[in-house]
Structure 1
Amino acid sequence: MQVLAAIKTKKITPEQLFMISVLAVNGGNYLYNLILGRLLGPAQFADAAVLITFLLVLSFIAMTFQLVTAKFSVLFEYTVFKSFIAKVYQQALAVGILLGLLIIVFATQLQALFNTSSSSMFTIFGCGVPLYFLMSVNRGTYQGKKAYKSLSITYQAEMLSRLLITLGIILVLDIKSSWVIATGILLSFGFGLFPFKVKHLNFKKVLSLDKTYSKQIKRFFLLTAFYELTQIIINNSDILLVKHYFESYEAGLYASLALIGRIVYFIAWMFVMLLLPAVVELKKEGKETASVLFKYVVYIVAISTLIVIVCVACPEFIIKLLFGEEYITMAPLLWKYALATSMFAISNIFAYYYLSLDKYVPVIISGIFGMLQMVLVVFYHDSLDQVVHMQIIAMALLLVIQLAFFRQETRAQKSLI
């Protein structure tokens, strides 16, 4: 409502402009997946889904560097900032090169592990990994300095270039191969670097940071990295495990199911972005924060319930509309997958809420149940139905535990009053 009001009065703040940009980028990425699903068909889309999942995993890992950069770009200034940002770039590039080389070296093994049609797609993808880490640190500086216009440009450039390059090759040259998807992803990393501040990329020896600063950075980095790891496990392990245990055709069908069902998660992420600053500000002012949590939980529960009901009422129509007739066998599972994603989205709100209050137990809980989800799928994967049922069990338990923790914390606070 605030964004709409701002548009009417023609006064859009940089923050609101960035929010609109994020919505556009998410919509563009979703469109990218839908078009690939329709153009490639289930079997070839299964290979594309592996690369897209690798991209999501990479984004979560690199997000650790982005968040660390963003936070300390606010806290540090002048010489300290220059030393900090140069060191982060060096470390991010080193990690990016290491991960990229590992993917390239083990490309053949990755092909066998995930039953893909070729290993070249992993080789091409691996070449782009260092660029992605540089891009993430670059975005972190813009985020920390509140340069939302430049930050929006990097996200838009990455999304649009990947969409146009990939679809251009497929439609114009009529080449439907996994290496095309990998090439589009690689080139999009280059476009996503723009605008890039070259002066921050310093390979000379930089001044050492004070031990207090170093300890503070390391602690936040480790906590953020652990949380991003939980997100990787819960969001992506099911697709990779299905690709490993099932034939390409079934894996492609499952990938389409996952993409539709995750609409709930992408919507919830927008509320998380609003929740965090609100809770931090209230805590700073010494005010109660639970009312803000309740508000966004109600929003997500309402939206999730609506999406699940729609998936129950007309699953075949949804799948035909988004992916086409070839994917129709997934219709009975659509509402179940949406239910599992809904429970995760609600649990995620509680985790982010406590992260903003510097309480990390819910993050650890998320990690435990992320591992549980993986273990359940590893042992119970006789059918795609069973895979989805295992996720429902894991996410239901996660939500119950998060609610129990919230209740315990609320009681503890009341006893102190």
Structure 2
Amino acid sequence: MYKNPIISKLKTNKITPEQLFMLSVLIVNGGNYLYNLILGRLLGPEHFADAAVLITFLLVLSFVAMTFQLVTAKFSVVFEGIVFKNFIGKIYKNALLVGVCCGFIIILCSTQLQQLFNTSSATMFVIFGIGVPLYFLMSVNRGVFQGKKDFKLLSITYQGEMLSRLIITLGLLFLLKIPSSTIISIGILISFLFGLIPFKIEHLTLKKTVLAVSDSKNITSFFMLTAFYELTQIIINNSDILLVKHYFDSYEAGLYASLALIGRIVYFVAWMFVMLLLPTVITLQKEGKDTAPILFKYVGYIATIALVIVLVCALLPKLMITILFGDSYLAMAPLLWKYAWATGMFAVSNIFAYYYLSLDKYIPVIISGLFGMLQMLLVVFYHNTLEQVVHMQIIAMVSLLVIQILFFLLSRKTLN
């Protein structure tokens, strides 16, 4: 009986956990994009501006909580046995404490947040604040899976969060006649519960945990470094949307939110490589192997993806906006490729920063922080038009990438 060699090869070659995770991240990003696109079409520019504020708050929260996830991921590789158990117990307690404090502050300042960002309701911030502690627990849980390279369980948590938010939010929008901002915040809150599945309950302990002084110092140093870098991520990724919401009216802010969503495709695709990069670099360093090849590999991937997306945005801007958001957002077509260019530069420079973060090197992280502040200050001082806002980001992000590349070349030359 004749056997097709291609089919036989597919049967013998199993999908690796890394490939499964990359596929899962693509699906999750696709689902999150679908969530945003449907909201944009259903709500229109003005109401979508409120939704964009909540989505931006969610992104800000994800970056803050990512500090705990990355710290957990790194030391899940480094620590073993009882040291690992004590570390996980301690990191869960700290994450829960920070989550409760952040959530309480958001609830307490809900009225002020409504006024600051010109939203239609303060209730959406109250509901969002209630869910914040859950997100921090979810991030530590994911950090364990990431560090142990248990990409199957890591994929399930991301899939659960995305699918539940998409289905529940859209279902409630059609069933309930209450403000859309309230519904979106409810959907986000419930999705945090689904994102906790599967949860390693044995890691969560109320017992006092003790770590060696040297281990505690290493954890604290890496935590502070990561927290600083995630702060720069918050500034670079989200300050433009929040500043536009502050300086411009709801209609223009809604238009800009659609532009940002499309232009950030490359960044969200790049994130799956970051998730794979950190544990891989730490493992190679632990084994005494050269880590530069893995950096080159991922930089090549991201640079290629960024170039393709910028070209598509430059050649077919009206078609992309019409398909994704509809004719009411077409005013942003001329700016689409420019925003994608700025985001692409940031995505590539981000790979360099996370690479050095994995190696406990501080300078690239500080560089990112300085340019994050530069971007925010440029937008604060130059925001006469939306086009000017985008131009300021291009200046900051191109400069950041050039500096990161120069630092890499100089550091390699010094080593050689």
Please report the TM-score for the alignment, with normalisation by the length of structure 1. 0.92
**What secondary structure is seen at the aligned counterpart in 2 of 1:43?**
helix
Q: 1:104 to 1:279 in 2, by over 3 A?
A: closer
The aligned counterpart of 2:351 is 349
Q: 1:356 to 1:100 in 2, by over 3 A?
A: closer
Q: 1:24 to 1:215 in 2, by over 3 A?
A: same
Give distance in 1, aligned partners of 2:220 and 2:109. Answer: 30
The aligned counterpart of 1:184 is 187
Query: Aligned to 2:142, which of 139, 144, 161?
Result: 139
**What secondary structure is seen at the aligned counterpart in 1 of 2:32?**
helix
Are residue 58 (structure 1) and residue 61 (structure 2) matched? Answer: yes
Query: Aligned to 1:404, which of 403, 406, 409?
Result: 406
Are residue 154 (structure 1) and residue 157 (structure 2) matched? Answer: yes
Which of 18-27 and 130-139 deviates more?
18-27
The aligned counterpart of 2:23 is 20
Give distance in 1, aligned partners of 2:279 and 2:77. Answer: 14
Backbone CA RMSD of aligned residues: 2.2
Amino acid corresponding to residue 240 of structure 2 in structure 1: D
The aligned counterpart of 1:35 is 38
Give distance in 1, aligned partners of 2:87 and 2:386. Answer: 47
Query: Aligned to 1:69, which of 65, 69, 72?
Result: 72
Give distance in 2, aligned partners of 1:255 and 1:213. Answer: 43
The aligned counterpart of 2:110 is 107
The aligned counterpart of 2:381 is 379
Are residue 84 (structure 1) and residue 75 (structure 2) matched? Answer: no
Which of 395-404 and 327-336 deviates more?
395-404
Give distance in 1, aligned partners of 2:406 and 2:111. Answer: 45
Q: List per-residue Cα deviations over 1:42-98 (Å, max 9, x = no partner).
A: 111111111111111111111111122222233334433333222212111111110
Q: 1:252 to 1:191 in 2, by over 3 A?
A: same
Are residue 195 (structure 1) and residue 198 (structure 2) matched? Answer: yes
Kept in 1, the 8 Å contact 2:147–2:279? The answer is no
What's the CA shift for 1:327?
0.3
**What secondary structure is seen at the aligned counterpart in 2 of 1:203?**
coil
Q: List per-residue Cα deviations over 1:258-283 (Å, max 9, x = no partner).
A: 00001111222333345445555555
Aligned length: 410
The aligned counterpart of 1:167 is 170
**What secondary structure is seen at the aligned counterpart in 2 of 1:12?**
coil
Give distance in 1, aligned partners of 2:280 and 2:51. Answer: 38
The aligned counterpart of 1:362 is 364
What's the CA shift for 1:29?
1.0
Query: Aligned to 1:298, which of 280, 297, 300?
Result: 300
What's the CA shift for 1:406?
2.2
The aligned counterpart of 2:50 is 47
Amino acid corresponding to residue 355 of structure 1 in structure 2: L
What's the CA shift for 1:292?
4.2
Q: List per-residue Cα deviations over 1:99-119 (Å, max 9, x = no partner).
A: 001000000000000010010
Give unmatched runs, 5+ long, in structure 1.
Answer: none
Amino acid corresponding to residue 302 of structure 1 in structure 2: T
Amino acid corresponding to residue 162 of structure 1 in structure 2: R
Q: Percent identity?
A: 72
**What secondary structure is seen at the aligned counterpart in 2 of 1:381?**
coil
The aligned counterpart of 1:217 is 219
Kept in 2, the 8 Å contact 1:169–1:175? The answer is no
Which of 81-90 and 123-132 deviates more?
81-90
**What secondary structure is seen at the aligned counterpart in 1 of 2:231?**
helix
Give distance in 1, aligned partners of 2:202 and 2:322. Answer: 50
Which of 102-111 and 87-96 deviates more?
87-96
Amino acid corresponding to residue 342 of structure 2 in structure 1: A
Amino acid corresponding to residue 85 of structure 1 in structure 2: I
Kept in 1, the 8 Å contact 2:74–2:282? The answer is no
Kept in 1, the 8 Å contact 2:128–2:185? The answer is yes
Amino acid corresponding to residue 256 of structure 1 in structure 2: S
Q: 1:272 to 1:145 in 2, by over 3 A?
A: closer
Give distance in 1, aligned partners of 2:349 and 2:27. Answer: 25
What's the CA shift for 1:338?
0.8
What's the CA shift for 1:244?
0.9
Give unmatched runs, 5+ long, in structure 2.
Answer: 1-6
Which of 392-401 and 46-55 deviates more?
392-401
Q: List per-residue Cα deviations over 1:237-268 (Å, max 9, x = no partner).
A: 11111111111111110000000001111222
